[in-house]
Structure 1
């Protein structure tokens, strides 16, 4: 009898421990219809950002505004890390455009025209009017001050081509075919992981999210392994995390989920 009680207690503790480590999502009632080539994300006022053709759109409940410059080519990426200074990057013309929250241009950085010309494959928002950029001439990540047109941090060159950047204000992840590199703003390599099956990458609230084999995974700052986000449909084209809410875009619909994160 005592052995049976101990076995039941052990199983209960094991299930509780597993539950506390699991990452899962609970669907909310809200579903939004959206026809977009690329869903970018949302801001604190629930405005939607997306790309159709060569234009970036911002859609609120009562109106939709847009930014486009056909001369710059196709939009390669849009970074909403700072909604007051949105970074729109055009790899085709080696140019980054910084927009305000009404999608009016603040400034643009033409890397073809600056001193010490560089070819850039990716550009993301950093802090203090700076950009994380990947310099394909030197095969390295750089922290670029676009107000003064200068590099403020040098990083060690990489053997691999950057496939994608994901960043917050102070750190940046560089995805390559074989590895995933994590750097801080001072040029130090913090972590190096195998890239595995990562297809897309993003950083939100110091958490790294990725789509792998049509499933969403998450990695916290303190862990070296990925955890699958349970209870989500497969086939998501894009995702965005804001204030604990996960926005999943698939089949011209945005479904919103509440994330349950590990307790430790």
Structure 2
């Protein structure tokens, strides 16, 4: 029995070492800049990084250089930023129950009231067809709202997916015709673009995630964890310190956002 247990432990450690992403690689700091306490972040397809701070500002960076800032007249905590399309950046305010579309100059033409869409939207993001995915806490489900028709087209209840008494939705994003929702208490839920539930990625405690290629990645215990969204294969990269957000960009660069700094690193072969 002892030998079997030891063998299982050895195989587990060997497997972990084989799939460790950081093997033979090192993080080389490139540059860093001070920032205010970040509450949300995103990256666009041009690799600009967007950081929303506690003062209600949304700052756009290229590497660690500040390019421009969105400072609305009505300040408030930004719950979610989706900037993948740099010509139409989506900003959601849960406290105000409002959302905003920004252009590439970070200018907003209008703020739209979310209560018209749902009695209470806990989390919201833009879909690839320029409509809205909504996590509705009152109806307890994932809903899709068609902006042009002014009506819901998809409604997927969470009753059989989440514990209604124990859940904490932290982020939502559509990627490669899939919708990903992180619940801190159970993992990352995956739906198709028709709202059908597909699977759950076992990753508890996730506040934010992003994508590169076919990989989803998130921070856990000062480690960047990558998960292939189709095969579920995982890899790991230990981080040099505590970070709130992480973004992989270009071919071999990593941006880490902490409470007080945005730092870019080169991922280099040893």
- The TM-score range, normalised by the shorter chain, is 0.7 to 0.9
Do the aligned partners of 1:165 and 1:172 also contact (CA within 8 Å) in 2? no
Which blocks of at least 5 consecutive residues in structure 2 are unaligned? 1-13
**Superposition deviation, residue 44 in structure 1:** 5.2
1:55 equivalent in alignment to 2:57: yes
Q: Which residue of 2 aligns with 1:258?
A: 267
TM-score in terms of structure 2 length: 0.76
* Structure 1 residues without counterparts, runs of 5 or longer: 1-14
Return the offset for 1:198. 3.1
Q: Which residue of 2 aligns with 1:81?
A: 84
- How far apart are the structure 2 equivalents of 1:113 and 1:94? 9
Deviation readout 1:114-171 (Å, 9 max, x if unpaired): 5xx4310111221121122101111111222233322222213243434223323421
- Using the alignment, how far apart are the partners of 1:255 and 1:199 within structure 2? 21
Name the counterpart of 1:240.
Answer: 247
SS for the counterpart of 2:78 is coil
Shift, 1:197, TM fit: 4.1
C-alpha RMSD over aligned residues: 2.9
Do the aligned partners of residues 154 and 42 (structure 1) sit closer, same or farther apart at CA in structure 2, a change above 3 Å counting? closer
* Corresponding position of 1:150: 151
Aligned residues of 2:68 and 2:106 also touching (Cα < 8 A): no
Give, in whole Å, the separation in 2 of the partners of 1:204 and 1:127. Answer: 17
Q: Decide which structure has the larger Cα Rg and report it.
A: 1
CA 1:63/1:185 → structure 2, altered by over 3 Å: closer, same or farther? closer
Cα 1:131–1:123, aligned 2, differ >3 Å: closer, same or farther? same
